Amino acid sequence: MVITSAKKVFFAGGDLNELLAAKPGDEAAFFAMVEKIKSQLRALERLPVPVVAAINGAALGGGFEICLACNYRVAVDSPAVSLGLPEVSLGLLPGGGGIVRMVNLLGLEAALPYLLEGKKADAGRALAAGLIHATVADQSQLVPAAKAWIASQVDNPDAALQPWDHKGHKIPGGSAGSPKLAQLLAIAPAMLAQKTRGLLPAPEKILDCAVEAARLDFDTALRKEGRAFTELVMTPEAKNMITTFFFQLNKINAGASRPDNIAPHTVKKLGVLGAGMMGQGIAYVAAKVGIDVVLKDISMAAAEKGKAYSAKLVEKQVARGRLDLAGAEALLARIQPTERDQDLAGCDLIIEAVFEQIDLKNKITLGTEQYLSDDGFWGSNTSSLPITQLAEASAHPEKFIGIHFFSPVDKMPLVEIICGKKTSDETLARAFDFVRQIKKTPIVVNDSLAFFTSRTFSTYLDEAARMVVEGIHPVVVDNLGKAVGMPVGPLTVHDEVSLELTRKIHQTWADMGVENQWGEHDAMAEIIKTLVVEHGRGGKHYNGGYFDYGDQGKTIWPGLLDKYFDGGNATPEQDIKDRLLFRQVIETLKCLESGVLRSVADANIGSIMGIGAPVHTGGFVQFINTYGLERFRARCAELADAYGERFKCPAIVSEKIERAETFN
C-alpha cells in the first residue's frame, strides 16, 4: 500500500475546532474517539503488506503520526516538506501515537526535542535524523520510489512489520530504567520546570508520556498517551493557545487586517534612516529576503558600523551551515551604507529609525521625503509618538504610516503598523505587504500616544515601580513578574531597555503637554528622579539601575532598599502577581474599547509577540475568556478597592457579560 496526497500538503493534522468544542465532562467520549483513531493507525501498521508514506508536502501533527504508522517513509526533497509534531505549541501533545512511536523509533533522548520543543525538520534533516528512510528529487519520482521499495521487499518477511512489533525490540539508547538514561531522567523534570515555571501543563505531560513509552509495553503506552491528551484538551491553557496561535495567528497572516481590493505590492528598494540598533536590524531582515537597502546615517563610519551588524549575523549563518558563501556575499551586497541623502532616490519605502524626538524626526522627513519614488510611502519606526502628529511634517500625510519594529529585529516576529488619521488604505495595504514580505507578523492599530504595545508594556513597568515605592522588596516584585509568566521580571527588563530612555520619553511627552496618563501618584517619575537624576543610574548600560551588575552577577542596588524597602509590608503574593498581569490586561481592554486596537486577534498576537504576555494565557484578551468575565470583573473591583482606580474594570467587559458574549 502507498499513501500519498493529491493536495499541496500531505496531511495538516486534526480538526482543532473539535478540540476547542470539547469541555470538562466530555472526557469519556473524547477518550473513546482518540482510542478509535489510534486503533485505526495500529491496524494500518499491522497490515500483512508493507505500507509506504509517500510524502509530498507538510506532514505535521496527526499527518506525521500517519507517516510514523507506515513501514517506510519517502519524501520529496523540497522546501514544501516539513515534518514534525508541533502540538506542544498549542498546549497539546501528539495524541495519535506520536510520542510512543517517536520514542520507539529514535530513543527517548533523541525524540524529546521533537516532542517538547515541537521541532520541525525538512526532508534532508529528517533523513539524517532517521525520521524518514529516503528522499527523491521531485514529485514525479515519489510514488515510483515507494513502489520500487515495495517490490524490493518481496523476499523480506519482515517488510510489513514495524520495528516495535519485532520480538525482542529494544528502544534505541535504552529503556527508561537503563543506566544510560538515569542522569537525563534525574535532571529533565527540574530543567523543564525552570523553563515552564509550572504554567504550561503540556510539556510536563509530554515528558511523562515519553518516559512511560520507554518503560511500558507499546499498547499500554498508547493508552497512557491517550489519557494525557484527553486531559490536556480540556485545559484552559490548550483552549487559549489553540485560539490564539492557530486560529487568530492564521487569520492575521492571511490578511484580515489588510484593506480589500488593493493590488499586492512588493518593495524593491528600501531606505533606512538611522543605522543604530533598530535601523541595522531592519536593513538585515529586508536584505535577507532580496530587497535592496540604502542604510543612511550622519556619517559613513556610522553607516558602515550598521552594515557590520548584518555581516556578523551572516557569518553566524554560514558557520551553522544555513547559508553558503555566495548567498552571504549576495545578502551583504544588497546593503548600501551611505551618508548621502541622494542615494535614497527611487526608494519604494523609506523607514525612519532615529531617536524619539519629534523635532529630529520632522527634520528628517522634510529633508529626505523628496527622494521617494512617485508611488513610494514613508514609515516611522517610532515606538510611542503619534503618527498623525509626525505626519504633519510630510507633504503627503496619506502616504505616512507607523511601522514599529521590536528589538532585536532579526529575532522578534512582530511588527506593529500604526495608521494616522490621514493614512490611506493603499498605504496600509502596502505596509502590510512589506511586513509579510520580510516574513514578519503584522498587527494593525489606530493612532494614539504609545499606540498599543508600548502603552500596555509601560503599565507593567509602572506597576512594578509603584510596588517598589510602596516598600515591597524589589526582588520579590521582579521574581513574581516571572512567576506570572512574563519572560523577564519588570525591574530587570526596565534596566535592559533603560530607565534613561524612559526619562527621555517622559520628557518628550511633557514637552507635548501630556500629563501622567494614569491620573494617580506618579511612582515612575519618583523612581526616575531617584535612580536616574539623583544617582545617575540609567539602567544596565548606564552605571546600573534597579540592579548593580558586577563580577558577582546581578544584585539589587542597596540604595533602593535603603530608601524604599519596608520589611513590614504585607502585600499578598497573589495580589502582586495579579497587579502585574491585570494592569496590562486592563490597558489592552482600554485600547480595544477606544478603537486603538482593531481586533481581538491583534490584541492577543500583539500582546504575546510584542509585549511578552504569558503564553499560557493566549494573550491579554483571551486570558479573560478562560478566567471568566464575571470573575475578572469581580477581581478588578477587589484590586481597585485595595490599590486604586487604575484597576477599575473597563465597561466593555460588562457589555459582553450583559450580551452573554466572550471576546472573539
Asked, as a colleague might, if the bond just before 408 is cis with ω within 30 of 0, I would say yes
Burial of 572 (0-12, 13-18, 19+ CB in 10 A): exposed
Amino acid at 644: G
416 - beta bridge partners?
A: 404, 443
Burial of 195 (0-12, 13-18, 19+ CB in 10 A): exposed
Give dist(CA 142, CA 140) in Å, integer: 6
Other CB atoms closer than 10 Å to residue 200's CB: what's the count?
21
296 - beta bridge partners?
A: 273, 338
Task: From 109, 111, 71, 106, select the one nearest 93 (Cα to Cα).
Answer: 111
Give dist(CA 563, CA 111) in Å, integer: 52
Helices 201-213/98-106 angle, 10° precision = 50
Q: Which residues of 407-424 are buried (b: 16+ CB within 10 A; e: fewer)?
A: eebeebebbbbbbbebbb
> Is residue 404 among the annotated active site residues?
yes
> What does each C-alpha distance from 603 to 243, 382, 611, 621, 660 come to in angstroms?
13, 19, 10, 7, 21
The C-alpha cell at 487 is: 519572560
User: In this structure, are residues 116 and 88 in contact, taking their beta carbons and an 8 Å threshold?
Assistant: yes
Give dist(CA 287, CA 270) in Å, integer: 9
Among 166, 169, 396, 404, the one annotated catalytic: 404
> What does each C-alpha distance from 244 to 17, 29, 249 come to in angstroms?
13, 26, 6
Mind telling me the catalytic residues?
Answer: 404
